[in-house]
Structure 1
Amino acid sequence: MGSETKSDSGSRSSADWVHWSFLRPTQGAIGYVQVLAKRASYLDLASTKRRSFVEQQAIKVVRGPSDELHIIDHHHWSRAWFDMGLPEAPVRIAEDFSSLSQVQFRDEMVKRGWLHPFDHCGRKISVEQLPRSVAELPDDVFQSIAAFLRMAGIYDNPGEFNAKFAWADFMRRRITVRPLNVEGFALMLAEAFKASRLPEAVELPGFIKDARQ
């Protein structure tokens, strides 16, 4: 890893570039339909604009013990760029916790809400069971469902809290999993919009009241 990535210089105009092997996911799954949507939007860009876009959307990471970089934002862009064959990962270091012990580091990540140790079925797993690389992240279709609901204005993230996980779990208990093709996903999304109008959905984080009208 290059010397520039040892500490955050404070510059936000460009990203650091590191080998993918340095990145560690902090969640147990991703929504792959969301990954495909991001890939399509990236490919829609003119080739001359892709580099600047990548640097603007750089993967937000925290440096932990052993100098590993733990992703705290843009897991889906990470997977999209990895799948497209970018030789290195664009990163921006938000915090440097490399001086902490493993226990102190984990406690700090939990305190800040930067760990989501749940698998692709929404089941709790240990931190040690989190995927070790972007390539190993499994698909959780309900994360994609929740992401599209947010884009449609059903809810928003309150502060830095990622409400998607709560919405994904809410939908997981109410929607039948269908074949993961265009028709199947569309039917699941239609059911999700109906579920978002249930009275109990009002209690979910980030719920936008006007979205029910």
Structure 2
Amino acid sequence: MAKMPKYTSELPAGILSEIEVSLLHPAQPALGYREVNYRVQQFKAMSSKELDAYLREHFLPVAIAPDGLPYVVDHHHRARAIQLTGLRKTVYIKVLENCKDWTEAEFWQMMQKNAWVYLYDKDGNSIEPNEIPANLAQLQDDKYRSLAWAVLEAGGYQESNVPFQEFMWGNYFRQRISFEDTDEEFTKAVNEALILCRKPQASKLPGYIAGVGEGSASKAK
């Protein structure tokens, strides 16, 4: 396969590039690490050729900030999982917007307008852009984001194109379920959440399926 150009802050929008994953900056403060760990195992099961082909097809969308830093605007779980595998140092990205000539205020206004940044921490509290971790390795673990992912995998709601869908469901569960982050407690929480998915209070959430409540917590561990 043809080599992609290495990342520089001068890349225009629309360009595909290769970058060291450690150089990527997150546009959210937290992840669901159960999903990350699940993806780690998926990637480790691939050959190096299969993994490279997968990453070329599933590139990471990036916005370049005024200081030249590349911010990942989606698929943070995939990026962090690749980093944790230790199998390779680079990933492939696509520049959606180069904002080097913008002010910081203009950049963050654009990020929020496009729903490319999520300004809530692992406990659901609002934060400022300067409180986002400086790199992927510093991302916090939001157990309710993991719960929302497991419930999605179990069929509790449908995947949609609404940005931060799993965080929205995670916050819904956060207000209604309390659990310790052990495998046993997590499985119980998934089963409880599957019932909550069919409640009228969930009907406004993206991907809601009327009457859903049965499923399994097969990916809870």
Q: Same fold (TM over 0.5)?
A: yes
Distance 1:163 1:9 in 2: 26
2:49 maps to what in 1?
Answer: 48
- In the alignment of these two chains, the number of paired residues is 209
The CA deviation string for residues 78-116 of structure 1, in whole angstroms up to 9 with x for no partner, is: 111111223233322122222211111111111111111
1:7 maps to what in 2?
Answer: 11
Shift of 1:3: 5.8
In structure 1, stretches of 5+ residues that fail to align are none
Distance 2:183 2:81 in 1: 19
**Which deviates the most, 42-51 or 75-84?**
42-51
Distance 1:154 1:193 in 2: 5
Distance 2:211 2:195 in 1: 15
The CA deviation string for residues 34-66 of structure 1, in whole angstroms up to 9 with x for no partner, is: 001111111222343111112222221111111
Shift of 1:7: 2.2
| Residues 187/212 of structure 1: CA separation in 2 closer, same or farther (3 Å cut) | closer
TM-score (structure 1 length as normaliser): 0.88
Q: Which structure has the highest helix share of the two?
A: 1
Distance 1:3 1:81 in 2: 18
RMSD value over aligned CA atoms?
2.2
1:209 maps to what in 2?
Answer: 210
The CA deviation string for residues 112-138 of structure 1, in whole angstroms up to 9 with x for no partner, is: 111111111111111111111000001
1:1-213 alignment runs, 5 A limit: 2=6, 6-8=10-12, 10=14, 15-85=16-86, 86-178=88-180, 180-209=181-210, 211=212
TM-score (structure 2 length as normaliser): 0.85
In structure 2, stretches of 5+ residues that fail to align are 215-221
**Which deviates the most, 79-88 or 15-24?**
15-24
Give me the identity figure in percent.
Answer: 25
Distance 1:3 1:77 in 2: 19
Runs of 4 or more off by more than 3 Å in structure 1? 1-6, 8-11, 156-160, 210-213
Q: Read off the aligned partner of 2:208 and give its amino acid letter.
A: F
SS of the aligned residue for 1:24 comes to coil
Contact 1:5 1:16 in 2 (8 A): no
